[in-house]
A = this chain, B = another copy of it.
Amino acid sequence: MNGPTATLLISCPDQQGLVAKFANFIYANGGNIIHADQHTDFEAGLFLARIEWQLEGFNLSRDMIAPAFAAIAKPLQAVWDIHFSDTIPRLALWVTKQDHCLLDLLWRWQAKELPAEIALIISNHQKLEAIAQQFGLDFHHLSINKENKIQQEARQLELLRQERIDLIVLAKYMQILTPEFIHHFPNVINIHHSFLPAFAGANPYHRAHERGVKIIGATAHFVTADLDEGPIIEQDVVRVSHRDTIADLTRKGKDLERVVLARAVRLHLQHRVLVYGNRTVVFA
């Protein structure tokens, strides 16, 4: 398979003929579907789908695709997006002091695992600036405290606008974003170092150790105004035992955090994640 593709992510009230309508739109315009997956949530009466087709030979020019599809989607009351595989999303990585998720994402980016442009790094500490330099990336140090949080978030939003950022990845950013910030920039993925909803909030490894669990986890989710309550994209776990100290849980957890976050970011960048309500459909 070669050449750019278009991907439709769509959800709408379920009714007969939806697959036919969407497939016909693509076929009628000379497209070849290379991935089609759908899900029907019968409780919610909702149809959700991902359809990807090759743009080579497609008769509609790119700027005509959305308007043409809108004519089909509107009567269906559909919520939808069309993405082109060669439109590379721009990422901002936000970090504090821990480097494992940052380094992992940067390595995957260099290894071409992440179809994105990493445009800048934002941190409330200076500790990881050298990594930014090493990878030739802009590093913005914006320290946060109670007094300056609103102002700094304004500066952050300004930076995101200037750099035309599509997605923030909180790669161990140890600050809570305000609901206002999320309202202005809702496209944020976070990694939480527990198997949510267990141990939401602070110090999950300490609490896991205290509780004596036999397995720990990590969770990548979209950020919403409710802390650690946003739609879950990916989770994974690792077995622990009584021998593991909090330091061991932290060490084992770091391996989980980086792979879970990387998987979630990659799935999202491939337009495989569709949010509805507080849940996700992952067309993996």
Q: Give A residues with C-beta under 8 Å from B.
A: 1, 14-21, 23-24, 26-28, 30-42, 51, 99-100, 103, 107, 111, 113, 134, 195-199, 211-215, 217, 231-237, 239, 241-243, 251, 255, 259, 278-282, 284
Contact A214–B232 (Cβ < 8 Å): yes
Residue among B42, B237, B243, B282 making CB contact with A242, cutoff 8 Å: B282
Kindly report which residue of chain B lies nearest to residue A30, judged by CB atoms: B16
> Which residues on the B side are within 8 Å of A213 (C-beta)?
196-197, 232, 235
Kindly report which residue of chain B lies nearest to residue A33, judged by CB atoms: B19
> Which residues on the B side are within 8 Å of A278 (C-beta)?
211-212
- A235 to B197 Cα, complex, angstroms: 16
Contact A280–B232 (Cβ < 8 Å): no
Kindly report which residue of chain B lies nearest to residue A266, judged by CB atoms: B251
- Tallying the copies of this chain within the complex gives 4
> Which residues on the B side are within 8 Å of A21 (C-beta)?
27
Contact B16–A20 (Cβ < 8 Å): no
> Which residues on the B side are within 8 Å of A42 (C-beta)?
1, 34
Residue among B35, B51, B100, B232 making CB contact with A212, cutoff 8 Å: B232
> Which residues on the B side are within 8 Å of A251 (C-beta)?
113
- A19 to B211 Cα, complex, angstroms: 28
Contact B34–A40 (Cβ < 8 Å): yes
> Which residues on the B side are within 8 Å of A279 (C-beta)?
211-212, 242
> Which residues on the B side are within 8 Å of A27 (C-beta)?
16-17, 19-21
- A116 to B32 Cα, complex, angstroms: 37
Chain B: minimal CB distance from A44 (Å): 11
> Which residues on the B side are within 8 Å of A215 (C-beta)?
195, 217, 235-237
Chain B: minimal CB distance from A78 (Å): 16
Max chain B C-beta neighbours (<10 A), residue from A19, A232, A235: A19
Chain B: minimal CB distance from A85 (Å): 15
Residue among B26, B39, B217 making CB contact with A20, cutoff 8 Å: B26
Chain B: minimal CB distance from A247 (Å): 10
Contact A280–B242 (Cβ < 8 Å): yes
| Top-5 shortest CB links A-B | A212-B279, A20-B23, A198-B198, A20-B27, A17-B27
Contact B242–A281 (Cβ < 8 Å): yes
